Amino acid sequence: MSSMSCMSRSSQRPPLPPSWAVECITGALMLLTTCGAGSAQSEQKPNVLVIVSDNQGWRDIGYNGSEIKTPTLDSLARGGVRFDQFYVYSMCSPTRAAFVSGRAPSRYDINGAIGRRSRQALPVDTVTVADVLKAQGYETAITGKWHLGLRPEVGPLQYGFDASYGFFHGQIDKLTHFYKNGDRSWHRNDRFIQETGHSLDLITDEAIRFITRPRQRPFFLYVPYGAPHPPLQETETWVAPYRQSIRSSSRRLYAAATTHMDAAIGRLITALEQTDQRQSTIVVFFSDNGAIQNWPVQPRNYEGRFGPYPVLGDNGPLRGWIGELYDGCVRTPALVNWPSRLQPGVVAEVTSVLDLFPTLVALAQGQTRPEWRLEGHNLLPRLFDQKSVPERVLYWKSWNGKRAAVRVADWKLIVDRQTGAAELFHMKSDPYEKTNLADRETNRVAQLQRVLAQQAVGDAPTPR
């Protein structure tokens, strides 16, 4: 346990709304309507299950035309709402920071994966979505990959979660549960433990235990899987279905890991159904970033036991790979499913992982506060009342700070801060970012450069 108590850490946080205030909030944020069936206020706060995959590319999910089988996710998409332009960040830690905090990760100088023995962490005084839902009466838990602090003293219990289980780091040996340089990572309630079994199955088992235990309060369960992120360790059960259809052995392993995860998600849905909680639970799914193209043998990591993986994910037809600022990295599969509440459909407008914080708070019948400086939009008016999603600025910063990007309406600008080179794309007519219009649209480039500079003002300084 940290030398600083949970109570003292909590006392550093900006204040949450008093319970009497959040219980009395009325109006649009509390309206949960079924499309075409009229408006009605929810009598009961829904359970919230947020599932995140790791390095799953745009075309690594069945409903986007993949050869990889994802029947559970396909079913959730058919019965729910798909987000067609859902934006995240370029690597694991930044997207997770954005989800948990509701703010661009560069505000915390979290621009790349927190790795090795870094002491970087999401600031403990950050008001998180778990904090706010907990204040709304929710039981909160995470089972899976944290990656916002690599030590127990900056584990999930310090950020509003009542219970935590899984691994602190960005990747682990799926069977030994150690990080790539041999550091311990596997924990329960932020205390290191040792267990046997495949990490994906253990994470699912723990999530099911949480779902099925008796409770008097609604729950918020965050299940960030470590699949299909390398290293890849899958049994013949999961590999066999792809032996004839996928020639590359590394792509087969990647497909096996993805299908293994999809089956695990199916187990979570079954647990909800068997405990009569399916109708009262909203399920959110997204990938943390686009896929990685390949993974060479890394002698310093895992004693060189894994790889090479020359062929892994598929972001096509989008351009780019993990760590870049093209849509192949920052636009990922995403959906929301809530039987009997949400009518199936597609949200074609631009949405963001930043939108999840205010949306979940609204679902919990709470309200956000200006001092939290959230950067997303509540999507309930779009999901339930078919209202348009407000336009916003989306802003990205590369892991090394050398590149940055903004998207405003249909225009996206990517700038190399060292050379000054700019790429400008009109995303509606050129969603695959093939034609650089920077030389033709110099006024627009200048305008977006100003927007980029304004966004950068809010960033945390990078330590030298």
Residues 339 and 419 in one domain: no
Sheet holding 334-337, edge to edge: 191-192, 186-188, 163-167, 139-145, 219-224, 47-53, 281-287, 334-337, 81-87, 345-352
Tokens of 264: 């695990």
**Gap between the Cα atoms of 318 and 174, Å rounded:** 29
Q: Which of 316, 392, 387 is nearest to 354 (CA)?
A: 392
Residues 407 and 353 in one domain: no
In a domain, 1, yes or no: no
In a domain, 463, yes or no: no
Residues 356 and 297 in one domain: yes
**Domain end (from 369, 391, 413):** 391
**Domain end (from 368, 391, 414):** 391
Secondary structure class of 270 (helix, strand, coil): helix
| pLDDT tens per residue across all 464 residues of the chain | 333 333 334 445 555 544 333 333 333 333 333 333 233 334 689 999 999 999 999 999 999 999 999 999 999 999 999 999 999 999 999 999 999 999 999 999 999 999 999 999 999 999 999 999 999 999 999 999 999 999 999 999 999 999 999 999 999 999 999 999 999 999 999 999 999 999 999 999 999 999 999 999 999 999 999 999 999 999 999 999 999 999 999 999 999 999 999 999 999 999 999 999 999 999 999 999 999 999 999 899 999 999 999 999 999 999 999 999 999 999 999 999 999 899 999 999 999 999 999 999 999 999 999 999 999 999 999 999 989 999 999 999 999 889 999 999 999 999 999 999 999 999 999 999 999 999 999 999 999 999 999 999 999 886 64
**Gap between the Cα atoms of 205 and 144, Å rounded:** 11
**Gap between the Cα atoms of 209 and 106, Å rounded:** 35
Q: Please report, in angstroms and rounded to a whole number, the separation of the first and last CA atoms in the chain.
A: 30
In a domain, 396, yes or no: no
Residues 335 and 453 in one domain: no
Residues 287 and 244 in one domain: yes
Domain residue limits at 439 = 402-457
Domain tally, the chain: 2
Residues 171 and 262 in one domain: yes
Kindly report the CATH number assigned to the domain that includes residue 440: 3.30.1120.10
Q: In DSSP terms, which residues pair with 311 in a beta bridge?
A: none
Q: Are 279 and 240 in contact (CB under 8 A)?
A: no
**Gap between the Cα atoms of 456 and 459, Å rounded:** 5
Residues 379 and 449 in one domain: no
Q: Which of 339, 337, 343, 340 is nearest to 36 (CA)?
A: 343
In a domain, 397, yes or no: no
In a domain, 178, yes or no: yes
Please give the model's pTM, rounded to 2 decimal places.
Answer: 0.92
In a domain, 142, yes or no: yes
In a domain, 56, yes or no: yes
In a domain, 379, yes or no: yes
